Amino acid sequence: MKEFWNDRYKTKDFAYGKSPNVFFKDALNKLNLSGKILLPAEGEGRNAVYASKNGLDVLAFDISEEAKTKAMQLAHTEGVKINYRVGELSQLNLKKNSFGSLALIYAHFPEKVKEKLHKDLADLIKPNGYIILEGFSINNLELRKKNPKIGGPGDKGMLFSKQEIKETFRDFEIIELDEKLVELSEGNFHNGLASVIRFIGKKTA
């Protein structure tokens, strides 16, 4: 998997563009967040840079060295600082209850590790902190068959449902949880009508 992402990110173009994800941008503006934010599977840094521009203390990570290179390049161009590490969550030695917010933007993981990984990430958020999530829903599989340009995993187990979100993040008050059809226009790999899950939760415990 690491080789796949390094190959995708090593080109000059930004695979998913330089602009922040629309839902992430709107959520940050609505929630008026401050403090530390964690961005797993952050790729080329478009959301990390936007968060830093909005005064957040950013820690991002990804398994791809090429992703970090592009992210640091974008941060330099935009005149902001981000902390970006390469590795998996288990290698980062992060402390529980140490982040005010967490954003999972098209961060899709294999089914066998997804639930535990999500719960481990949730443990890193402080009480009353927020999680922001947007990812492809299970129903995106049919849309992807018609238009591969919208992207997303072809493996159902890596996709999201509203029920799964409720069960996995049960220690969070649901601020927003929707499944929507959205027209994506993010770089070269997210283009067209897609079915996504959007979630904002506030940690209660």
Q: Would you state the pLDDT for residue 139?
A: 98
pLDDT averaged over every residue in the chain = 96
Alpha helices in 10-88 (DSSP H): 22-31, 46-53, 65-78
Q: Would you state the pLDDT for residue 16?
A: 96
Query: Over 90: is that where the pLDDT of 118 sits?
Result: yes
Q: Would you state the pLDDT for residue 189?
A: 95
The C-alpha atoms of residue 4 and residue 182 are separated, in whole angstroms, by: 26
pTM metric for this prediction: 0.97
Query: Over 80: is that where the pLDDT of 52 sits?
Result: yes
Q: Residue 141: which H helix or E strand, with range?
A: helix 140-146
Residue range 199-204: mean pLDDT, rounded: 97
Going from the N-terminus, what domains does the chain have, and what CATH number goes with each?
2-203 (3.40.50.150)
Query: Over 80: is that where the pLDDT of 205 sits?
Result: no
Residue range 184-202: mean pLDDT, rounded: 97
Backbone angles phi, psi at 201, to 5 degrees: -130, 150
pLDDT in tens, 72-109: 999 999 999 999 999 999 999 999 999 999 999 999 99
Residue range 46-67: mean pLDDT, rounded: 98
Q: Would you state the pLDDT for residue 1?
A: 85
The dihedral through the CA atoms of 66, 13, 150, 178 has a sign that is: positive
pLDDT in tens, 129-153: 999 999 999 999 999 999 999 999 9
> DSSP of 68-133, one letter per residue?
HHHHHHHHHHHT---EEEES-GGGS-PPTT-EEEEEEES----HHHHHHHHHHHHHTEEEEEEEEE
b/e per residue 51-79 (b: at least 16 CB within 10 A) = bbebebbbbbbbbbebbbbbbbebbeeee
Residue range 66-74: mean pLDDT, rounded: 97
